[in-house]
Amino acid sequence: MEKFNVNVTSEIGELEGVILHSPGSEVENMTPENAQRALYSDILNLSVASREYFELKGVLNKVTKTYEVKQLLTETLSIGKAREALVRNICQHEGAHDELDYLLELPSHLLAQQLIEGVILKRDNLTKFLSNERYSIRPLHNFLFTRDSAISIWNEVLIGKMASKVRERESLIMEAIFRDHPSFGVPTINPEKIAGNRKGFQHATLEGGDIEIASEDIILIGSGARTSTEGIDLLTEILRDKKQGTKHLIVQELPLTPESFIHLDMTFTFLDRNACMVYEPLILKKTKYHTIKITIDNGKVTSIREEASLLKALENCGMELAPVNCGGHGDPWTMEREQWHSGANFFAFAPGKVIGYERNEKTLEEMNRNGFEIVKAMDVIENRVKLEDYSRAVVTIAGSELARGGGGARCMTMPVKRKNVKW
């Protein structure tokens, strides 16, 4: 089988491959009582979420090669050594040693389903009988947000070091796919293993929603609730050790609350070669949250300095971007409401062509004023619209239910290959 070479050198290059995870019963395998533990502020309706997700996947199927996590995992588990290594790793990691033999005997497709949707606790002794837990291995409620647990950085994949234990299995699965699946077999960088050998990284966390590949030389990264400063220090060391010329790491501090600021891509995303979506109160206004630029040159950190803003830091690296305001102009309440529902979270599948939620009307109006034609997802899926007819377009997907999960189109996509951008 021919290998699929990972190549992501920007956020906007024409998309050639993306990994998705269509939501399954793991989304509904929670209750109001344990939703917060699952990192949700509310429970979702799967039937509605699935209809909305169909629009996202349907559009992407029109423009690129799509991969499903469950199918990739099933194919990976059909490889004997990979199967045993992953299952043992998961059972050890989650203290589910009693499930090892049961899981190893399952057919690959059922095993993949169990590892994602959860393994029901067998109440075969008193402790288990009295347990309040429903699962011995909990469902991966957040796996539809494939962005976080694995990050394509140029020609390698950085495995996420998740801030919450309930998401750690996602990283284990994604690493196994990229390492062992016959279509991939690409170099992976595991911060967990690197941190284990070095001092000062006990609290290092890195999640993909905080990492944006601006160019071959520039990475943006958010520092907040999900990605720690130690995690950024660890990424700095990883880049430094590669000794690959000059690289710029631009760090944007994020508020720890409310939860809508969970990742950088909830406040800033790239739209085109010269345009970006911003949440103005954080990205453009003067605040207490710092913007820091770290310069790495041939294996050495040569500069760490504060910048006036994220856009100014990019401009000083030779990348000038015109901001488009999430929520439009003038009304801070509208800005706040639309940012809460992922109004700044767009996913580019080509320069100037992006996907986002239709519910954020003021944001879409602002994009339209900046030359983006508004196109409905179903018009693309049913061939009523040809995206190649537009130089700039925003494809809108329904998001009444998906947005309540706390993420947008960028959160739900993990690109593995893009064409290089001609700047």
CATH code at 272?
3.75.10.10
List the domain range (segments joined by +) for residue 307.
15-28+45-418
> Considering the chain, what is the average pLDDT of its residues?
93
Give the span between the Cα atoms of 212 and 276, in whole angstroms: 12
Instruction: Tell me if 269 is assigned to some domain.
Output: yes
Q: Looking at the domain assignment, is residue 40 inside a domain?
A: no
Work out how many domains the chain is built from and give that number. 1
Q: In one letter, which amino acid is 413?
A: T
Distance CA 14, CA 394 (A): 15
Give domain status of residue 423, yes or no: no
List the 322-325 sheet strands across, edge first: 268-272, 275-278, 322-325
369-398 pLDDT tens trace: 999 999 999 999 999 999 999 999 999 999
pLDDT, residue 32, reads: 61
Length of the chain: 423
Domain assignment present for residue 94? The answer is yes
**pLDDT tens, residue by residue, 228-269:** 999 999 999 999 988 888 999 999 999 999 889 999 999 999
Is residue 38 pLDDT above 60, yes or no? no
In a domain, 34, yes or no: no
- Asked if pLDDT for residue 423 goes beyond 90, the answer is no
Identity (one letter) of the amino acid at 241? D
38 in a domain, yes or no?
A: no
The answer to the question of residue 362 being in a domain is: yes
**Nearest by Cα to 165 from 192, 134, 189:** 192
DSSP assigned state of 8: B
Give a yes or no: residue 263 inside a domain: yes
Which pLDDT value is given to residue 1? 58
Position 195 scores a pLDDT of 79
Give the pLDDT band (50/70/90) at residue 4: confident
